[in-house]
Amino acid sequence: MRLNGEIPVGRGEEDGMDGEMNSLNYSIGGVGQKLTVGYALTSKKKRSFLQPKFLSLARSKGICFIAIDLNRPLADQGPFDIVLHKLLRKEWWDIIEDYRQKHPEVTVLDPPNAIQHLNNRQSMLQDVADLNLSDYHGKVGVPRQLVVKKDPSSIPYEVTKAGLKLPLVAKPLLVDGSAKSHELFLAYDEFSLSELEPPLVLQEFVNHVLLCLIVGGILFKIFIVGETITVVRRFSLPDVTNHELAKVDGVFRFPRVSCAAATADDAELDPSIAELPPRPLLERLVRELRLRLGIQLFNIDMIREIGSRDVFHVIDINYFPGYGKMPDYEHIFTDFLLSLVQNKYKKRPTT
């Protein structure tokens, strides 16, 4: 398993190209065939992922991207070697699962039933909680959390019953791709809890870096593309002063972390906070999650417990994240796609 080091985030020069590529024939790993990738992505994902530099590199390697027409039967399109998708419509889930069952020769990234597991924040972190990584070059766990599906007036009682300590970070229970599903709130007194809007997940972050809001905290974004791991340090949340907190009544709303967080690569940071998680720990964590989740394209948001060098907490897992923000994603993703088809040819029986 390859682990990429931390590299300053940069998009570099981009070649002027169309979003889609013409079908061209190149040699892939000595095999005189092209690799055809069908994709079904939201407009936002297409803009961030199918960037000109990436498309140019992919085309030079013999990779052809074809947009899937959602108004036509999928079986009538292609043929595809790989299907990339990130659409959260129920109709699409049924279509791609049926296609996957009927076309086992096509690599679907990733199986829809596996992706659905990550669309619920209650089940999202369960696989991490089930791992035994308590003594493997460090410790990885998840924050204590409580799921509230209805009746906001019951939240203070449920929090007390569960023994959670304030302040709490509140997140919507379901991840549906909307801006609302990525909203993040800090509830820092008992009276504010009933103002929250279920269904939601309340996570306890006492003694964790993420709650050091006055001085800021570091979030490790761990991007996974197949067997390749890339770690980027980001400021977890924008700085919040006590004066700003005093302006609101118990609930503070943050912007999306992925949008607000700036790279921490060039900042002068305390080494005890900024030091990357141990490589063996990351490799073990990612290997176990790939097996348990059954997906190859995801990222992990991780924080270090304050005052500790080797205790970490996974706070979020996302399918098909914003790879456009990952250093050198063009080469990493191109190599990954090529490896899929090369492995396919290696498995074919020789005649």
Query: Which residues are part of a known binding site for 1D-myo-inositol 1,3,4-trisphosphate?
Result: 45, 86, 182, 221, 318, 322
Task: Determine the number of helices (DSSP H) and then strands (DSSP E) in the chain.
Answer: 12, 15
Residues annotated as binding site? 45, 86, 121, 171, 182, 203-221, 236, 301, 316, 318, 322
Residues annotated as binding site for ATP? 121, 171, 203-221, 236
CB neighbourhood size of 103 (10 A): 16
Q: Which of 81, 16, 29 is nearest to 55 (CA)?
A: 16
Q: Environment class of residue 327 by beta-carbon count within 10 Å: exposed (0-12), middle (13-18) or buried (19+)? A: buried
Judge contact between 81 and 66, C-beta under 8 A: no
Q: Environment class of residue 134 by beta-carbon count within 10 Å: exposed (0-12), middle (13-18) or buried (19+)? A: exposed
CA dist 260 to 184, 236, 238, 263, Å? Answer: 12, 9, 7, 10
Record the tokens describing residue 154, joined without a space.
Answer: 């019951």
Q: Which amino acid is at 308?
A: S
Q: Which of 64, 51, 58, 56 is nearest to 24 (CA)?
A: 64
Q: Which of 257, 205, 215, 254 is nearest to 234 (CA)?
A: 257
Beta strands per DSSP E along 19-89 = 35-41, 63-67, 82-86
Q: Note the Cα 293 to chain centre separation in Å.
A: 13
CA dist 248 to 179, 187, 217, Å? Answer: 22, 10, 22
Record the tokens describing residue 144, joined without a space.
Answer: 């204590």
Over the range 247-257, which residues count as b (16 or more CB within 10 Å of their CB) and which as e? eeebbbebeeb
What's the chain's Rg over C-alpha atoms?
22
Residues annotated as binding site for Mg(2+)? 301, 316, 318
